[in-house]
Chain A
Amino acid sequence: MSGHSYDAENYWKANLRLIFGSLIIWALVSYGAAILLRPMLAGIEVGGTDLGFWFAQQGSIITFIILIFFYAWRMNKIDEKFGVHEE
């Protein structure tokens, strides 16, 4: 890998964009819906309690799993697109 080619730079930028987007969702479900925004979501009822409680004890974990698989799948595609994947 020749370190400084135009493509290598774009590859890294694509990775950073993907990480950034994923971490926004990561923060939104946990720090957002489950903690800070819970009072705002209090009106939405889920099985005897509210949506914020569900996100805190179930929803955020499920979202985390989806995020990691999505990242792995997208990133492996991006590796191939930029030709930096492993043989």
Chain B
Amino acid sequence: MSQFAINLLFVGGSFLLYIGIAVWAKAGSTSDFYVAGGGVHPVTNGMAIGADWMSAASFISMAGLIAAGGYANSTFLMGWTGGYVLLAMLLAPYLRKFGKFTVPEFIGDRYYSANARLVAVICLIVASVTYVIGQMAGAGVAFSRFLEVEATNGLIIAAIVVFIYAVLGGMKGITYTQVAQYCVLIVAYTIPAVFISLQLTGNPIPGLGMFSTHTESGLPLLTKLNQVITDLGFNQYTADVDNKLNMVLFTLSLMIGTAGLPHVIIRFFTVPKVSDARWSGGWALVFIALLYLTAPAVASMARLNLMTTIYPEGTQAQPIEYDQRPGWIATWEETGLITYEDKNNDGRIQLYNDKNADFAATASERGWAGNEMVVNNDILVLANPEIANLPGWVIGLIAAGGLAAALSTAAGLLLAISSAVSHDLIKGRLNPNISDKGELLAARISMAIAIVVATWLGANPPGFAAQVVALAFGIAGASLFPALMMGIFSKRVNNVGAISGMLAGLTFTLVYIFTYKGWLFIPGTNTLADSPENWVLGISPLSIGAIGAIVNFAVAFGVSKVTAEPPVEIQELVESVRYPRGAGTAHDH
């Protein structure tokens, strides 16, 4: 059977499974559609959160980023897991006790203001749409490679599949589909990692393998890796970073963004009890950690494998001839994600760091005229089984896993967007008397529209997956997280304070990001070049969410102090979300 047929079998088979689950779990009421009827077991919910959470960015891009950046990109690992600690202790149990369908609904009720709810809807849509772009773009990459279709056509196939199971099943369909998607993606991610860890170190657990001895050289794996890449002019893999402030702020932005992203928060509304919401957070992180503890191993091992593929006789000897390159390099060249240019016309592939001035002398001594091969970070996980010469079915599995990761997150985001539109905008503002059936129809229509918009944006993405996603975190962390946290932990923050805080946090963050990334992400419209010399105090636009959150907190407290205290019934509402007793399932009124 050809590789293409195997890929088709795995991807097609997994899609049939998802659609089958959706038909089985069709949503009959708004409660089914928004919170899966409120009867999901915490372990099941944890698994669904895992799939919801682990996006194309986690599955496809993250290991590639770590492989390229080494220690410096540990921020993604800590940021995208540490947020669950905040979520489980500061938000989830209380929002579950509050017992409504959406995040803007809590903000609207707690700050007794339809305008606060509207601001929350806007923040939610901005963050979720930014995030969904990355998912659709990721699905496009996976499709174009594995189904050998044009990326745009691949995107349309992905959109149709999401459309069927998300629009039909709502949260109920999405929850059970996500459990299946979690299983697919975690198996797909870990199997190649285990094989590679065994090949390189003899240790079957990748997270331990990366700290063990590299069998071939007898050196610790990371020492060997450091040696190989510094020989080629790259920075040490484990090198410390100089700008610790930026590293701290970036990690913090990712953490509070994780806690503030509505598509994750609403998952906690689906469990029966407050105590279940607490357990759910722990289970979610266990399932997420299975991938996150493996990712750094995948990163370091793939980087080493890549280098030994190009320099089979060692870094002091000649690199491989272009005509002798392995088949996977040739296939990825077709997608444009690996490029080769024979700058010194010797027919070999010189892969090294030509931006390192200290290495330039060594390079010219060896007759090298510049780096000749560029490997896109996003392909690392997808190409991993091929780099390690694993059998064809593992490659098919990776294809299905990458798509599961992208589609499950896209579905969760689309649900959060559609519930904000149908429940918070249409029912909450435009037409409060809409029937349950009418609202369900509105939810389905708004989800369909969201899918079309997301697909268009996925076909025309503003940057590569993980970067765009990081921006969504800044926005969620700077606007929603502080409003939610203050709503629970302070009785004093009032409507005016919360609205000014959210707007200040959001505006501050967006202006800083757009200054460097282009206004509305339109390339070429940025006011300042996006390079460390231009950043204020060395704070990158990706890290600014943490400062935005501080602005939000400060403005909200300041404004609340000089304006009237919230009414007594609101203070009682705050009091009531703090105590678990009396939490029914999530309900409408």
Contacts and interface: CB of A to CB of B under 8 A. Distances in A.
Interface residues of B, number: 53
A4 to B, nearest CB: 8
A1 B582 contact: yes
Given A64-B85, A84-B580, A57 B74 contact: yes
B293 A58 contact: yes
A47 B207 CA distance: 11
Contacts of A46: 211
Nearest to A20: B89
A61 B293 contact: yes
A61 B251 contact: no
A62 B88 contact: no
Interface string B58-95: 00000000100001001001100110110011100100
B219 interface: yes
Interface string A6-37: 00100110010001001100100011001110
Contact of B580 (A30, A60, A62, A79): A79
Contacts of A75: 93, 275, 278
A31 B251 contact: yes
B528 interface: no
Contacts of A53: 71, 74, 222, 238
Interface centre among B74, B210, B279, B292 (most CB of A within 10 A): B74
B251 A19 contact: no
Given A23-B89, A72-B282, A61 B78 contact: yes
Q: Determine the main DSSP class of A at the interface with B.
A: helix
B230 to A, nearest CB: 14
A41 to B, nearest CB: 11
A52 B244 CA distance: 13
Interface string A50-87: 10111011101110110111011001100100011111
Interface of A: 1, 3-4, 8, 11-12, 15, 19, 22-23, 26, 30-31, 34-36, 38-39, 46-50, 52-54, 56-58, 60-62, 64-65, 67-69, 71-72, 75-76, 79, 83-87
Given A48-B219, A53-B71, 15 more contacts: A1-B575, A8-B579, A15-B578, A22-B89, A34-B74, A47-B212, A49-B220, A49-B222, A56-B78, A57-B66, A60-B81, A61-B77, A68-B84, A72-B275, A85-B580
Interface of B: 66, 71, 74, 77-78, 81-82, 84-85, 88-90, 93, 207, 210-212, 219-224, 226, 238, 240, 244, 247-248, 251-252, 273-275, 278-279, 281-282, 285-286, 289, 292-293, 296, 572, 575-576, 578-583
30 contacts: A11-B579, A19-B90, A26-B82, A30-B78, A31-B252, A34-B74, A35-B251, A39-B240, A48-B223, A48-B224, A49-B223, A56-B71, A57-B66, A60-B77, A60-B78, A61-B289, A64-B289, A68-B85, A68-B88, A68-B285, A69-B282, A71-B88, A71-B89, A71-B278, A72-B88, A72-B278, A72-B279, A75-B278, A85-B275, A86-B275
